[in-house]
Structure 1
């Protein structure tokens, strides 16, 4: 079997449940040659993963998943080979996390208006440390604990997801600004899980704007979507990536999909690396 890479995974640095080193161990167990750490709006988990990767013989691709809003919904842009140790880049991400905190406050307020006894303090106690990168899955966990919903899926369907009773979207950077942020830092910008957005016009707009790649092999893209995005990527010379979007476990189940279940070839990793090197001159 050809060596593969999982190019989309999350850790405790954002809304995953595993330490970065645990993701690396799982990658090694799955027989992967490479793994990307792509936490939401932070690179805080990359250094630990790099260290673990060096010990276990798994290449770690420093990444990030940048949150933006386009046409009224969350649009995520993956950045690969980003300068995770660069202070200026880290400061740009801080402002994105502040917007995430603002959204959490608005979500909690909406849930309280709906008569749910949830507090920001109780949600935020789920994360330790000063860099509390809290997201909607943490709010969903609190709703499960309160007995308001039974599952993560129900929490998103009823309250937190697009169309949910408490859904809010404060002003954020646009997907175009997210692409620019990543590329100006010397990274490679790839549109995450386009099948989730139900907005192929926006996908085409972002391709025309200058995307470097599309995440084709993702658990939330159906087979027809994979074919369509592969065709567009071929037409425009874009990189086709793949990843599980692993967030650890919610109860007994892996959240999104198990690490290593959706992958890309090492040729894809090389293309991403070359693009990043070209961008940095």
Structure 2
């Protein structure tokens, strides 16, 4: 069984519609895929319909923008009740921060001599990847990666800070909505010191269920093995995934990293327990089963 628990569609910063994403996952030989668009559930309904049609198992999730000790951390939330008032309000606040950020980035880039406007950014809820795509289309850079490194990362001329939710509070909030949480690529890009093992232990005590270990941003095998050992010591679920964005990210093909079936079952067991404890009406896995 091949399981990929982290992918993105056009509902956030991927380049495929949810139906295209699910079809591509099935064609890539995946048995299970999760749709985890940033800070929203806009792709869930279409993805669920497509998964039922093509016969692939779909887990509905969200990648939530959070902060911990003044550093950005992405948190994967699986199977929460999307109508939970507290979760809905926090996601709306995050999205509003993203929406107001894009015009500020455009203004900063124009001050730096880059001729770009909001009309060049094609997205309902624009974020840094969409600004990066506009720079690619205009020939300012050749790729999203170059756009980020030259213009949009912290310290670069087009970077603008935005609101992100508190990590620990968000873990608890997702649990109250009946979902489970997994840290997304926590030690990627040399950021091990931002989330040391002691902090991960405290997040486990707050309700964290797992850690995404096998991810393209964890390039060093030693980093993966150390993080896997931390997860084992803390009894956290270990996941692996592509973080696929269609054409929006290179070297993140569907299924390039996968989650072991027994770890997936542990995640589903914890999701069932969280749903029962919350007494919320949470989404079920659809499609393949």
After superposition, what is the alpha-carbon deviation per residue over 1:151-202, rounded to whole angstroms, capped at 9, x for unaligned? 2111011111234332222242122223222222111111101122533344
Among candidates 86, 103, 121, match of residue 119 of structure 2: 121
1:140 aligns with 2:132: yes
In the other structure, the counterpart of 1:243 is: 241
- Aligned-partner Cα distance in 2 for 1:114–1:272: 46
Q: 1:256 to 1:175 in 2, by over 3 A?
A: farther
> Does structure 1 conserve the Cα–Cα contact (< 8 Å) formed by 2:72 and 2:164?
no
**SS of equivalent residue, structure 2 residue 187:** helix
- Aligned-partner Cα distance in 2 for 1:167–1:69: 17
Gaps of 5+ in 1: none
Gaps of 5+ in 2: 277-289
**SS of equivalent residue, structure 1 residue 32:** coil
- Work out the number of aligned pairs and report it: 269
> Does structure 2 conserve the Cα–Cα contact (< 8 Å) formed by 1:70 and 1:174?
yes
Using the size of structure 2 for normalisation, the TM-score is 0.87
Among candidates 75, 78, 81, match of residue 77 of structure 1: 75
Q: 1:256 to 1:207 in 2, by over 3 A?
A: farther
Among candidates 92, 102, 105, match of residue 103 of structure 2: 105
> Does structure 2 conserve the Cα–Cα contact (< 8 Å) formed by 1:72 and 1:169?
no
Among candidates 23, 26, 51, match of residue 25 of structure 1: 23
After superposition, what is the alpha-carbon deviation per residue over 1:224-275, rounded to whole angstroms, capped at 9, x for unaligned? 211111010000000101110100114xxx5451111111122222211111
Runs ≥4 in structure 1, deviation > 4 angstroms? Answer: none
CA RMSD of aligned residues (A): 1.8
CA shift, 1:96, in A, is 1.4
> Does structure 2 conserve the Cα–Cα contact (< 8 Å) formed by 1:10 and 1:39?
yes
Bigger relative contact order, structure 1 or 2 (CA pairs below 8 A, ≥6 apart): 2
> Does structure 2 conserve the Cα–Cα contact (< 8 Å) formed by 1:75 and 1:197?
no
Using the size of structure 1 for normalisation, the TM-score is 0.89
In the other structure, the counterpart of 1:177 is: 169
> Does structure 2 conserve the Cα–Cα contact (< 8 Å) formed by 1:73 and 1:162?
no
Taking the TM superposition and a 5 Å limit, the aligned residue runs for 1:251-270 are 255-270=250-265
- Aligned-partner Cα distance in 2 for 1:73–1:197: 13
- Aligned-partner Cα distance in 1 for 2:67–2:140: 28
> Does structure 1 conserve the Cα–Cα contact (< 8 Å) formed by 2:2 and 2:259?
yes
CA shift, 1:91, in A, is 4.1
Among candidates 204, 207, 210, match of residue 201 of structure 2: 207
> Does structure 1 conserve the Cα–Cα contact (< 8 Å) formed by 2:94 and 2:163?
no
> Does structure 2 conserve the Cα–Cα contact (< 8 Å) formed by 1:8 and 1:244?
yes
In the other structure, the counterpart of 1:217 is: 214
